[in-house]
Amino acid sequence: MELPAAVEGKPGELLDLYAALLGPGWVAQVPAAEPEAVHALARAVRTDVPECVDTYHRTRWWTRLTPGGEGPERQLSVLSQEAQRLTADLQDREVRRQQTHTAYLEERGRS
């Protein structure tokens, strides 16, 4: 069973974003240093995205019978917003870390 065209790429986009955050290299070190980020990513990849797709497949017939009702597609939208916030938070933390390190180096250079 396929997802509707409006959301068919969403699970893949989310998983690609999560894969980029968790991939090998320095990028994965940023969320790895934040226990809440690790928890949010693990929960999203292991539970939330698969559950959204499964929910869609299990309730698809029901949403057709209730026009105007909110379908499981909304879950993917909420997860996408959460992923954007998580990414922005991690980016902000990394910027602050770099600023702190720059200030340290500048101070050390004055000594």
Q: Calculate ∠ Cα 15-60-56, nearest 5°.
A: 20
Look at the chain and report how many structural domains it folds into. Answer: 1
Give the structural domain span for 41: 10-110
Q: Is residue 4 in some structural domain?
A: no
Q: Is residue 1 in some structural domain?
A: no
pLDDT digits (tens, 9 = 90+) for 42-100: 898 889 888 887 877 776 666 656 666 555 677 888 888 888 888 888 888 889 989 99
What pTM was estimated for this model as a whole? 0.69
